[in-house]
Structure 1
């Protein structure tokens, strides 16, 4: 078996309209496909990230809350590579997205920081 790459990451949101606006208008992802699944009362939005990776954004009626402990089992966070961390942080802050203080990865020496999506999912930007 040979795994080529990560194909997509799936996110379940609580407010579809708010999350759709966040990922498209604030983070700049592009819509690849959008479907309303009537039998599930659910949207599925496929987003392009720099034309390479894909995020599936799902809505479901009354999804349970995420456990917000950073060391809880499951997906810890989603990280996006950026060319210039300071510029990215400035742009996120101008769009009303609060970021944590910039940190330095002890192993790689690269800069990174975290912010949250509308459902408090942890997102990271990591300098190339």
Structure 2
């Protein structure tokens, strides 16, 4: 639906080109780190406690082992999870959230809220 007036349009705050560029870069950085289909799902699954690889794969419906492995590596690289290897027999590897992952709480809450609203709009046409 097109907007009739400038006041109705989202993101109408006047900003300098440099501020706009900085904002776009920040959003791009955030999407690079947590974007995609699986990263936030992995974080949510780990929010219920530490898990081993197979437990995570069962908890996240539809994720392949290769994709999960890559997502875990990227989340560890960005400081959201830790990987702990217990050198017993058999070797056990556990994944846990770091305190830094808590910085995503407001982001995930806002995404969930928007997701509920959007689903309602699509299903009910409102």
Asked if Structure 1 and Structure 2 have the same fold, meaning a TM-score greater than 0.5 normalized by the shorter chain, the answer is no
Identify the structure with the greater strand proportion: 1
TM bracket, shorter-chain basis: under 0.3
The TM-score, its normalising length taken from structure 1, stands at 0.27
Identify the structure with the greater helix proportion: 2
The TM-score, its normalising length taken from structure 2, stands at 0.27
